[in-house]
Structure 1
Amino acid sequence: MKCLRIYATSDGESHFDEVELPTTKRSVQPDAVPFDVTAGYPASLVRITHIPAGMREVAWHTVPEPNLSVRLDGSVEYETSDGEVRRSKAGSFVLVEDTHGKGHLSRHSPEAQTVIWVSLPNGLDLPPA
């Protein structure tokens, strides 16, 4: 399963990456068709956020700890300090790990949005960038 990732290098610059989250086939009930499931990851906090309509750009910022941002509706355009821009639409999720350095910009679509942030103090045990 592919996941967009925002991370910072040791020089404090932020970048995008696409990572593959390993999955296994699992059934939730006997005789059910199996589907792809990732490993379980320890989470310390879950926040559900309502971003009001009209909130456009959030200045350069970092995150206090790695988090998985799950967008339920609306969209956001992220920009990293190297100038690359990626759009994340409703139904997508982004691993945000730039806890130091310059951070990233967030430009929100004009409509109100609902986002779930899952704090992952250990990240997703992915290889270092």
Structure 2
Amino acid sequence: MKCLRIYATPDGESHFDEIELPTTKRSVHPDALPFDVTASYPASRVRITHIPAGVREVSWHTVPEPVLTVRLDGSVEYETSDGEIRHVPAGSFVLVEDTHGKGHLSRHSPEAQTVIWISLPNGLELTQS
């Protein structure tokens, strides 16, 4: 399962990466067909954020700890300090790990948005694609 990642290098510059979340086929209950399921990852908290309509750009910022964001509606455009820009539509998830350095910019679509933030203080063990 592919996931967009924002991370910082030791010099504090932020970049994008696409990572692969390994999955295995598992049944979620005895009568279910198997689904592709990732490993379980420890999370310290879950927050649901409502971004009001009209909030457009959030200046350069970092995250206090690694967080997996799940965008339920609306969209966002992220820009990393190396100048790369990625559009993230509703239904997408992004692993944000730039906890130091310059950070990234967030440009939100004009409509209100709902985003789930899952704090992952130990990050994830991932295979790079």
Provide TM-score, normalisation by structure 1.
Answer: 0.97
Q: Which residue of 2 aligns with 1:2?
A: 2
* d(CA) in 1 for partners of 2:113, 2:29: 34
2:19–2:127 CA contact under 8 A, matched in 1: no
Q: Which residue of 2 aligns with 1:70?
A: 70
Amino acid at match of 1:84: E
SS in structure 1 opposite 2:99?
A: coil
Q: Which residue of 1 aligns with 2:81?
A: 81
* d(CA) in 2 for partners of 1:61, 1:104: 6
Q: Which residue of 1 aligns with 2:122?
A: 122
Q: Deviations over 1:62-84 (max 9, x none)?
A: 00000000000000000000000
Q: Which residue of 2 aligns with 1:16?
A: 16
* d(CA) in 1 for partners of 2:106, 2:116: 15
Provide TM-score, normalisation by structure 2.
Answer: 0.97
**Percent pairwise identity:** 86
SS in structure 2 opposite 1:46?
A: strand
Q: Which residue of 1 aligns with 2:112?
A: 112
* d(CA) in 2 for partners of 1:33, 1:126: 26
Q: Deviations over 1:6-51 (max 9, x none)?
A: 0000000000000000000001122321010000000001110000
Give the Å deviation of 1:123. Answer: 0.7
Amino acid at match of 1:37: V
Q: Residues 17 and 124 from structure 1, CA distance in 2 versus in 1: closer, same or farther, beyond 3 angstroms? A: same
Amino acid at match of 1:57: E
* d(CA) in 2 for partners of 1:58, 1:24: 37
Q: Residues 127 and 10 from structure 1, CA distance in 2 versus in 1: closer, same or farther, beyond 3 angstroms? A: farther
| Structure 1: gaps spanning 5 or more residues | none
Aligned residues: 128
Q: Detail structure 1 runs of 4+ shifted over 6 Å in the superposition.
A: none
| Structure 2: gaps spanning 5 or more residues | none
SS in structure 1 opposite 2:54?
A: coil
Root-mean-square deviation over aligned CA pairs: 1.1
2:22–2:126 CA contact under 8 A, matched in 1: no
